[in-house]
Amino acid sequence: MVATITPPQTAAARYLLDAQSPNQSLLPLTAKVNSQDHLEVGGCDVVELAARFGTSLYILDETTVRTAAAQYRDAFKTHYGGESLVIYASKAWNCLAICAIVASEGLGIDVVSAGELHTAVLAGFDKGKIYLHGNNKSLEELKMAIEHQVTIVVDNWSELRSLADLTQGRDSVQIMVRLTPGIECHTHEYIKTGRIDSKFGFDPNDTEKVFEFISHQPGLKFLGLHAHIGSQIFELKPHEDLGPVMVGWLSKAKQYGLSIAQLDIGGGLGIRYTESDDPPSIDEWARVVCQSVTAACEQEGLPLPKLISEPGRSLVGTACVTAYTIGGHKTVPGIRTYLSVDGGMSDNPRPITYQSLYRAMVANKMSAPIDQTVTIAGKHCESGDVLIKDAELAATEPGDILVIPDTGAYNYSMSSNYNRIARPAAVLVNGGQAHLILVRETLEDLLRHDRLPDHLV
């Protein structure tokens, strides 16, 4: 575990902490301060990137993504006696470049829409490693998944019956069944998905009815079970508890003549957003999961299934920082000082949605003393557009470059055009080279889908 520290009084000292596991770091693994006292990521000066590509700007470190992927892959090989597969939960950030990196590391991918599936296919994923999730898949999405021969994780009765109809008279379609295991964990209310009161997955009371139904459907090839208990989890006990619950249901499935070849235990490992966050390492998390499933299989007398995990945030969250240009400030005497930046809730909706906490630094003054407390406000016409309350920073002036770390997960993927603000660009950095992976939207892009009826012209 990473110990809680007393924050030092410069950004360079406070945030450039050694961490063996990427999810335990506050900055990308390649982050350092260069000779100009600027933050550098992937060998690239963040201040220079901001000048070259504009702000706000997502800066993604390739080394950190690949390191996290390798640690997951190696941890399951080390701690599990059977076959395993790590698949990227791409809802965290789905774009061609990230998908291509993950595919090149030998990982699979979890997609939840036709758009994510289309991107994964174009990025070169082995279709046997693509899993389609979602609680309300359309018929078009189901047909697309069948056409691409990917595994469909069935979420409910309506979807199961639709698949039974779609697969009549054709080759079998690979499916898994998602169950709600009834396991609670300490995380935000909106991202608890394993409890009984959830929109995801079959009710446990329906499990045997589901198995019986599938056993009579020749067009459905049952592979195994799936569960996911939530996101941004620091506790290991819920994942330890998940193993015997899921293996017990696998044993039930076997009684109906169904395959028990695969078990997907989801993801959910948290990352370090602030100094006080103390997530387990990737290796610690994988060890607990593997030992739990192994012990449960021994108890039930079952062979080890192919064990699948679905990290998302812990693969890409720490790998990205977002750079902003500081604008004006407003001081409310005796209350607070607002420091405004040229982005906000449209490029990072997590603070207004989940009350998520972040840290910040001035990228062009990394060794300057931290001597002010400000509230970092976005530019949107919304009182709640506040990225960080009570941020501790070095003294700033308009034109300085503010950086918020840990913005790789759910920032771009949940971004919007609120106030008709264009989405930012994103660059991939590695070895001193910066590659544009998402082009900044233009005003013309914002109008691309507008249509003006003739009578209004």
Tokens of 271: 């990352």
Going along the chain from its start, the domains and CATH numbers come out as 11-61+317-446 (2.40.37.10), 63-316 (3.20.20.10)
The residue annotated as part of the active site, out of 95, 290, 320, 381, is 381
Strand order across the beta sheet in which 32-33 lies:
32-33, 39-41, 44-45
pLDDT band at 289, cuts 50/70/90? very high
DSSP secondary structure code for residue 303 in this structure:
P
Q: What angle do CA 414, 420, 423 make, to 5 degrees?
A: 45
Total residues found in the chain within this entry: 457
The pLDDT value given to residue 201: 83
DSSP secondary structure code for residue 44 in this structure:
E
What is the β-pairing status of strands 130-132 and 370-377?
unpaired
Distance of CA 295 to the CA centre of its chain: 29
297 is known as an active-site residue: no
Distance of CA 319 to the CA centre of its chain: 11
Mean pLDDT value across the chain: 93
pLDDT exceeds 60 at position 2: no
Region 160-186 average pLDDT: 85
The pLDDT value given to residue 199: 76
pLDDT tens, position by position, 234-275: 999 999 999 999 999 999 999 999 999 999 999 999 999 999
d(CA 27, CA 359): 10
Nearest to 157 by CA among 102, 96, 221, 207: 207
> Residue 361 pairs with which residues in a beta bridge?
403
Classify burial at 414, counting beta carbons within 10 Å of its beta carbon; exposed 0-12, middle 13-18, buried 19 or more. middle
Region 23-33 average pLDDT: 97
pLDDT exceeds 90 at position 200: no
d(CA 55, CA 425): 8
> Measured between alpha carbons, how far is residue 257 from residues 94, 250, 251, 372, 412 in Å?
37, 11, 10, 66, 44
What is the residue-wise DSSP string for 345-372? TTT--HHHHH------EETT-TTSBEEE
Percentage helix, strand, coil for the chain under 3-state DSSP, each rounded to 5: 35, 25, 40
d(CA 419, CA 399): 23
> Residue 435 pairs with which residues in a beta bridge?
428
The pLDDT value given to residue 427: 98
Which residue has 């993927």 as its token pair?
A: 413
pLDDT exceeds 60 at position 340: yes
pTM of the model as a whole: 0.93
> Residue 222 pairs with which residues in a beta bridge?
175
Distance of CA 389 to the CA centre of its chain: 24
Number of helical H runs and strand E runs in the chain: 13, 20
Classify burial at 100, counting beta carbons within 10 Å of its beta carbon; exposed 0-12, middle 13-18, buried 19 or more. middle
The pLDDT value given to residue 196: 55
pLDDT tens, position by position, 112-166: 999 999 999 999 999 999 999 999 999 999 999 999 999 999 999 999 999 999 9
Interacting residues of 26 by C-beta distance below 8 A, sequence separation 6+: 15, 17, 272, 273, 274, 275, 318, 359, 405, 406
Classify burial at 372, counting beta carbons within 10 Å of its beta carbon; exposed 0-12, middle 13-18, buried 19 or more. middle
pLDDT band at 172, cuts 50/70/90? confident
The pLDDT value given to residue 268: 93
pLDDT band at 194, cuts 50/70/90? very low
pLDDT exceeds 70 at position 5: no
d(CA 88, CA 110): 6
